Amino acid sequence: MRTLFHDRIDAGRQLGRILAGQSWVEPVVLGLPRGGVPVAAEVARALGAPLDVVVARKIGAPGRREFGVGAVTAEGPPYYSAPALHTFGLTPEVMAPACERERAEARRRLAAYRGGRPEVEIAGHDVLVIDDGLATGVTAMAAVRDLRDARRVVLAVPVCAPDAVVEFEGEVDGFVAVAAPRRFDAVGRWYADFTQVSDATVVRLLGKE
């Protein structure tokens, strides 16, 4: 299987070229930490737009925390995947303690990433939410639902599962992907270098803006 991107910087540049060819009203670029931020930084550069983050934390199933049944941001309502809840026999009420733990962590990370800088204003702006790829989409869904003050919300990724756009119908005003391979498998398969992004890298990239 061939790769599509050398690394997240390459992916961001490819995505940025597509987005730069569209019309935006005072665009703001928000990266999903950690992997989405290097991609978002290149998009922000291509659009000449401010860069910030929207932190969404996966809510893992009991005993299987790597399996996200939902996600939550620092302030917005949690999002749960109904099929995932059904699979594990769970309810939002049962998951409430885990949700609040992840919300607290989202708040902590948001404060650490911004380092005292005020958040970028989104009211009346076109907001582009960027990640390095989209598989289940639970964190991205929580993120876009937290941005109701924006003029428009567009979710943009370098690569996604082919049915991802269907999941976001009615949730976003636009969806952009460089590629949606039929045999998607996993986000990392499409990158030659998919090295984990550190918190320090996120802080450094945000500090450049």
Q: 121-134, pLDDT tens digit by residue?
A: 999 999 999 999 99
Residue 191 confidence (pLDDT): 97
3-class SS at 83? helix
Phi/psi of residue 71, nearest 5 degrees: -160, 160
CB 84 within 8 A of CB 69: yes
CATH of 57-112, one of 1.10.3470, 2.40.160, 1.10.8, 3.30.1310: 3.30.1310
CATH entry 2.60.120.920 includes domain 8-53+114-207: no
Q: What is the DSSP letter of 209?
A: -
Residue 1 confidence (pLDDT): 58
Q: Where are the domains of the chain?
A: 8-53+114-207, 57-112
CB 60 within 8 A of CB 98: yes
Residue 163 confidence (pLDDT): 86
Surface-to-core class of residue 131, CB atoms within 10 Å of its CB (0-12 exposed, 13-18 middle, 19+ buried): buried
Q: If you count DSSP H runs as helices and E runs as strands, how many of each does the chain have, helices first?
A: 7, 8
Residue 208 confidence (pLDDT): 65
Residue 65 confidence (pLDDT): 82
**Contact residues for 40 (Cβ-Cβ < 8 A; gap 6+):** 12, 29, 30, 31, 32, 51, 128, 130
Q: How many Cβ atoms are within 10 Å of 132's Cβ, its own excluded?
A: 28
Mean pLDDT of the chain: 94
3-class SS at 126? strand
Q: Which residues of the chain have pLDDT under 70?
A: 1, 208-209
User: Can you give the length of the chain in residues?
Assistant: 209
**Contact residues for 195 (Cβ-Cβ < 8 A; gap 6+):** 7
Residue 120 confidence (pLDDT): 93
